[in-house]
Structure 1
Amino acid sequence: MNDVWLTRIVPHPTSRDARRDLGDAVGLHRRLMSLFPDELGPDPRASLGILHRVEDTPAGPCILMQSAHRPDLNRLPEHYGTTATRQLGPLIAALHPGATVHFRCVANPVRKPGATTRSLYNLPAVVPLSGTHADQWWMRQADTAGLKVLTLHSQPLDSATGVRGTRGADQQRIRHARTRFDGTALVTDPDRLRQKLADGIGRGKAYGCGLLTLAPTRNRESATTP
């Protein structure tokens, strides 16, 4: 993760394009992908290392986007909003065992019941989790990511929704339940953590889920915010 960029976009409240994107997870995904070159293979989002989430702030919503390439913000529509970009390489390289960090991740906690369980209880293939079950899911994800959770606060958010595909039979409505996880953790495996920072956590990464951001505990202001 030598070249990692974090971009903050603060949409202008008068921008019709921005308002539309904020209400459409598929549209926002397309907007962010438009800031990068085309022709990047079958999974361009993964190739570019793009992860994002929408944050609610006292001043209004803002978009945080992490990428392995610097975006061309001139491709945004005129008056879309204000932007800032910074590199995260030095922060990520400085991670070491025993460091204590603040974390935040908006994720899509789910479980996938086996065929027998689905048939017995008439369950879908993917079951969204909430409350204690979502917290337990996050604890497992954090452990896999090289973090030992010390404190945890979770908050359910509105689902990410949108329509993918062209008109007619190709259209597919997407819906990803979202929970925001905040807290502090001890870094146990920096290499695994760096990989998870690059890959994201869980499902729905194209639609605003999975971006994990960290900040040193000595600084309340997120070190991953430009």
Structure 2
Amino acid sequence: MTLWLTRIIPDPRSREARRDTAGAVDLHHRMMSLFPDHVATDEPRRRLGVLFRTESTPAGDQILLQSAERPDLDRLPTSYGQAVTKTLTPLLDALRPGLHIRYRIAANPIRKPGRATRELYRLKAVVPLQGTAADEWWARQARSCGLDLATLHSSPLDAATGHRRSDQRRIKHDRVLFEGTAAITDADLLRTRLTDGIGKGKAYGCGLLSIAPHRGPQ
């Protein structure tokens, strides 16, 4: 299995970078533009394994892009910012049951109530989860990824929003940042979920699970 991780530090002086980071749809199209145009599938994002996440750090904003193919960084506009790509193969090869890791994911935790429940409580078809309900959602997802959570910290993020270019339909995916530590219970399952992404909104900055070895106290 080969995965690539690209770290892009947008230059705030770049108009294109400012536009892309202001909206999830524009950023989706920018990330997809870094790959060949001839991918023969109705789902090029899934075929290319493209997942991304924006983050704010003490040094400024950054974009993390994960993909099954190496992106062509020459396709970024001039003066867009700094970018570097590395392979995740050594990390993936080192995964094994019992290994303790740190994790981080910006996800779209939701619940889809049944029709009777929606009518009774006047709920929408998709209900975003917050607080304890969101934490429980992630705990279930983590187990399905082959992880046994040790610690879990969550915080709300701004929603991923924008208008689709094809039909101008507005998209909105509420996001929560989950981070903490865990032990691997199934390495093969974890590799699969790392590649596929987790939850909804994967085209718009949700679902990228990042992990690293945890060398602190267990």
Question: TM bucket by the smaller chain?
Answer: over 0.9
| Residue 7 of structure 2 corresponds to residue 8 of structure 1 | yes
CA distance in structure 1 between the partners assigned to 2:165 and 2:20 by the alignment = 16
CA distance in structure 1 between the partners assigned to 2:2 and 2:138 by the alignment = 27
Residues matched between the structures, number: 215
| Residue 197 of structure 2 corresponds to residue 200 of structure 1 | yes
Q: Render the CA deviation track for 1:103-143: whole Å, top value 9, x for unaligned.
A: 00000000000111111111111100000000000000000
| Residue 180 of structure 2 corresponds to residue 180 of structure 1 | no
Structure 1 match to 2:16: 17
The Cα shift of 1:165 comes to 2.8
User: What value does the CA root-mean-square deviation take over the aligned residues?
Assistant: 0.9
CA distance in structure 2 between the partners assigned to 1:171 and 1:67 by the alignment = 27
CA distance in structure 2 between the partners assigned to 1:61 and 1:112 by the alignment = 33
CA distance in structure 2 between the partners assigned to 1:79 and 1:57 by the alignment = 20
The Cα shift of 1:93 comes to 1.3
Letter in structure 2 aligned against 1:37: P
Q: How does 1:45-194 map to 2 (within 5 A)?
A: 45-166=45-166, 170-194=167-191
The Cα shift of 1:174 comes to 0.3
| Residue 210 of structure 2 corresponds to residue 213 of structure 1 | yes
CA distance in structure 2 between the partners assigned to 1:50 and 1:63 by the alignment = 13
The Cα shift of 1:216 comes to 0.5
Q: Render the CA deviation track for 1:160-183: whole Å, top value 9, x for unaligned.
A: 1000034xxx22000000000000
CA distance in structure 2 between the partners assigned to 1:128 and 1:148 by the alignment = 24
In structure 1, stretches of 5+ residues that fail to align are: 220-226
CA distance in structure 2 between the partners assigned to 1:44 and 1:115 by the alignment = 33
SS in 1 for 2:138: helix
Q: Render the CA deviation track for 1:39-67: whole Å, top value 9, x for unaligned.
A: 32100000000000001011211000000
CA distance in structure 1 between the partners assigned to 2:148 and 2:200 by the alignment = 21
Q: Which moved further from structure 2: 180-189 or 35-44?
A: 35-44
Q: Render the CA deviation track for 1:167-225: whole Å, top value 9, x for unaligned.
A: xxx22000000000000001000011000000001000010000001011127xxxxxx
- What TM-score results when the alignment is normalised by the length of structure 1? 0.94
SS in 2 for 1:14: coil
Structure 1 match to 2:26: 27
SS in 2 for 1:210: coil
Letter in structure 2 aligned against 1:211: L
CA distance in structure 2 between the partners assigned to 1:39 and 1:121 by the alignment = 47
SS in 2 for 1:197: helix
In structure 2, stretches of 5+ residues that fail to align are: none
Structure 2 match to 1:224: none
- What TM-score results when the alignment is normalised by the length of structure 2? 0.97
CA distance in structure 2 between the partners assigned to 1:65 and 1:165 by the alignment = 21
CA distance in structure 1 between the partners assigned to 2:2 and 2:98 by the alignment = 24
Q: Render the CA deviation track for 1:83-102: whole Å, top value 9, x for unaligned.
A: 11000011111100000000
